[in-house]
């Protein structure tokens, strides 16, 4: 275990569990993959960023973690999504934890949105969450347990501006989470959502994390520090573990007290 992880929780129930993370090569997804790998989980992740994915796998393997399985997958292609899930099932026989993390918060105006742009945004930010759940569901039902964690956002609660379709998708994810928690509860499958705030990922720093935006964030947050991807990953670990076995149908905010 890394020295930086020594002071944080260890979850014995996650050791050996099969964990599948979408959008796992960079940002919050990278931290989630890393956190599960350090728990001793068998981690698979999907992405389209092959170089970043290789660096992550090589780094974790060099650190002594179980080697994650990376599958190149464009989640807007549902046939490819299903095929990628089958690769995970073929390797490990099941999926115990699904983290629906992949998304794209590209900025856009109302005027820019065409029907084609709408469809692409939903195909990126909402549709894969449902079809990933559908694809892993038979394996979870076979073993009579599962934890599904859908990544939403506080953007629809603030509310943010400049990303209306992304916000619509993130709000819909909370509704999807709540209904599926009741649909799947009889199968002992838990479904929760995590709603990050302004997370200081490398992508955010590169594209939008200006001094002016950071000042706005700090004025809004109760905690006057950057909220980082590892902060989100630690909550995801708890929701995946048996420690949270009675928790479902919930939405948890990680935003330093913004909302």
CA dist., res. 169 & res. 178, Å (int): 15
Choosing from 11, 70, 166, 209, the catalytic residue is 166
Q: State the residue for tokens 């992740």.
A: 45
- Look up 166 and say whether it is catalytic: yes
Q: Dump strand ranges (E) for the chain.
A: 18-22, 42-47, 69-72, 97-100, 146-151, 189-196, 251-254
CA dist., res. 43 & res. 20, Å (int): 6
Which one-letter DSSP state was computed for residue 227? B
169: nearest Cα among 183, 158, 153:
153
Q: What is the largest CA-CA distance in the chain?
A: 51
Residue 233's CB is within 10 A of a number of other CB atoms, namely: 25
CB 254 within 8 A of CB 196: yes
CA dist., res. 255 & res. 204, Å (int): 15
Q: Is the peptide bond before 159 cis (omega within 30 degrees of 0)?
A: yes
Active site (catalytic) residues: 166
């Amino acid at each position: 275990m890394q020295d930086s992880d020594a002071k944080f929780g260890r979850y014995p129930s996650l050791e050996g569990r099969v964990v599948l993370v979408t959008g796992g090569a960079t940002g919050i997804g990278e931290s989630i993959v890393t956190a599960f790998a350090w728990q001793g989980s068998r981690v698979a992740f999907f992405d389209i960023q092959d170089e970043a994915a290789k660096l992550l796998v090589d780094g974790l393997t060099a650190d002594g973690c179980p080697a994650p399985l990376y599958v190149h997958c464009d989640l807007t292609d549902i046939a490819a999504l299903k095929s990628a899930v089958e690769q995970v099932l073929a390797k490990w026989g099941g999926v115990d934890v699904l983290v629906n993390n992949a998304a794209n918060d590209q900025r856009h105006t109302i005027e820019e949105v065409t029907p084609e742009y709408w469809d692409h945004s939903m195909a990126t930010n909402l549709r894969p969450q449902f079809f990933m759940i559908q694809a892993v569901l038979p394996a979870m039902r076979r073993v009579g347990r599962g934890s599904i964690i859908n990544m939403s956002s506080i953007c629809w609660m603030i509310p943010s501006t400049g990303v209306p379709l992304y916000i619509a998708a993130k709000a819909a994810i909370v509704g999807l989470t709540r209904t599926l928690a009741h649909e799947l509860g009889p199968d002992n499958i838990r479904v929760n959502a995590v709603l990050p705030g302004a997370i200081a990922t490398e992508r955010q720093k590169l594209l939008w994390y200006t001094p002016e935006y950071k000042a706005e964030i700090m004025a809004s947050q109760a905690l006057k520090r950057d909220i980082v991807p590892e902060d989100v990953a630690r909550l995801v670990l708890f929701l995946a573990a048996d420690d949270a076995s009675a928790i479902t149908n919930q939405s948890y905010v990680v935003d330093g007290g913004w909302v």
